[in-house]
């Protein structure tokens, strides 16, 4: 498989992740997030895969909009990086937010799981 084909696969995986975040689809998020995930949030805090799944499962975080403005994809072998820029609207613990965000995600691919996020960082733009 060429890096170009992998890049298109990764682009689809990124968009599945966005849709799963919007729907709080915990099963889909579980499949797309590597068990070793480290997510650095806009506040600088570090979070695990289980932390991420917990906020979706509990309903503490509710997203109403994930609007992609730009998506850049880079693939080299079984490693990929996506850069998402877009508007994210929702609430956390009942406090609303409407922000323009940049997510940088590092993905790893294997034949068993496909593409999975292993590291991510988010910042408000």
Token look-up 């170009």 returns 4
What pLDDT does 113 receive? 94
Mean pLDDT estimate for the chain: 97
Instruction: Give yes or no for residue 1 having a pLDDT over 90.
Output: no
Question: And the tokens for 35?
Answer: 């068990």
pLDDT for residue 78: 95
CATH of domain 3-124: 3.10.450.50
Q: Coil, strand or helix: which one is 85?
A: strand
Domain range annotation of the chain: 3-124
């Amino acid at each position: 498989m060429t890096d170009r084909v992998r890049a298109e696969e990764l682009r689809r995986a990124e968009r599945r992740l966005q849709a799963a975040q919007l729907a709080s689809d915990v099963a889909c998020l579980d499949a797309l997030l590597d068990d070793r995930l480290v997510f650095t949030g806009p506040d600088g805090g570090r979070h695990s895969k289980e932390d991420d799944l917990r906020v979706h499962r509990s309903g503490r975080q509710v997203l109403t909009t994930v609007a992609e403005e730009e998506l850049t994809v880079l693939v080299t072998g079984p490693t990929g990086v996506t850069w998402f820029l877009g508007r994210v609207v929702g609430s956390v613990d009942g406090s609303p937010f409407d922000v323009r965000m940049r997510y940088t995600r590092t993905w790893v691919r294997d034949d068993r799981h496909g593409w999975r996020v292993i590291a991510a960082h988010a910042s408000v733009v």
